Amino acid sequence: MIEKEKTQRVYWLDTIRVIACLMVVFMHAPVPDKENPLTSSYLLGALSYLTFPCIGLFFMVSGALILPVKMHLNEFLKKRFSRILFPTIIWSLFYITVKYLYNEADVAGVAKLILQMPFSAVEGVLWFMYTLTGLYLFAPVISKWIESANKREIEYLLILWLVVMCFPYIRAFINISEGDYNILSTFSGFLGYMVLGYYLKKYPVNLSSMFNKIKAAVCFFGFSVVLPAIFYIGQFTDFDPGTVLYNYLSISIVSMCVFWFILIQNLTRLHTVVLFTKVMKELSSMSFGIYLVHIFVMRRLIWNWIPVGALPLWLEIVVVAMLTFFLSYLVVKIISRFRFSKYIIG
């Protein structure tokens, strides 16, 4: 989300980052309604599923921009962590303060949350920061291999990672150990997204070829539409569809991430439009801050401004999401004017 290239800017990566940021905002936009639980609505279920590629896309953009790490280890860590460590601390303290002011945490609760900060997020949306930090720590390690690896060797790693991404489905039939207790556990996790982003940037899929279009369409509909539909409709003992539909580390979500990545990558004409690229560049540069502040703007402000039920559900979601995105952008833009803004919004 926060990477900036020293060389020629890759504008389609800006577009992917903005799309991913919009997905996050739309995912969180539905206003809770006790009389009509969120889980009972097909619209809300579909919205959650279709916006789940957001995090994978963010990590893919990171991988496309920083891998392989070529700068000295100390320089890399200093550069990256000055842009992520301080915002994490500042926004964690901000959200803790908000919880206290809204009587959601007493003094003892505040103390516990502060002690929790070095280990896990104090606000749900901040989990991304901790995961991204871990990936940054590992990036210099894997970079030495990526720099010398050929295409087939990178594909070897990605294939094994994709096999693990199929585990949520395979568990409907076979008992596979969770976490670190299986043969391919080393190939699991979000690192695969970073490697995938690097791979697709270095070896792009050209959709001008009809054969590639067909392959992309078949993979997308097969893994992201047909496969989850079969498992959702089918009756499988002790199988929860949510483990595959709403799981960042599921082959269905990975498939959607790849679809969005290569689709935007191939919109070459769109990225020659000066106004479009300027808008995407501006929004992309603010996306990190928008991600950090949008939960406060949405849940503490917008949700209280929108009368629940006054609008059709789909329109209410659109209004909440767009207002949140716009107001969050304004807040971040104002913060960016300050001298030390990079320590606040990255």
Q: Is the pTM of this model over 0.95?
A: no
Gap between the Cα atoms of 301 and 102, Å rounded:
13
Gap between the Cα atoms of 200 and 195, Å rounded:
9
The lowest-confidence range among 77-91, 95-109, 127-141, 321-335 is 77-91
Q: Please name the residue that has the structure tokens 């079969």.
A: 230
Q: Is the dihedral of CA 203, 14, 192, 213 positive or negative?
A: negative
Helices within 149-250 (DSSP H only) = 151-165, 167-170, 191-202, 210-221, 227-233, 242-245
Among 169, 278, 187, CA closest to 234: 169
- The CA angle 6-341-87, to the nearest 5 degrees, is 90
pLDDT digits (tens, 9 = 90+) for 92-112: 999 999 999 998 888 998 999
- Residue 23, classed as helix, strand or coil, is helix
Q: Please name the residue that has the structure tokens 């001008």.
A: 208
Which amino acid is it at 55? I
Position 3 pLDDT exceeds 50: no
pLDDT digits (tens, 9 = 90+) for 156-179: 999 999 999 998 888 878 887 777
Question: What band does 40 get if pLDDT is binned at 50, 70 and 90?
Answer: low
For 177, left (φ over 0), alpha (ψ -120 to 50), or beta? beta
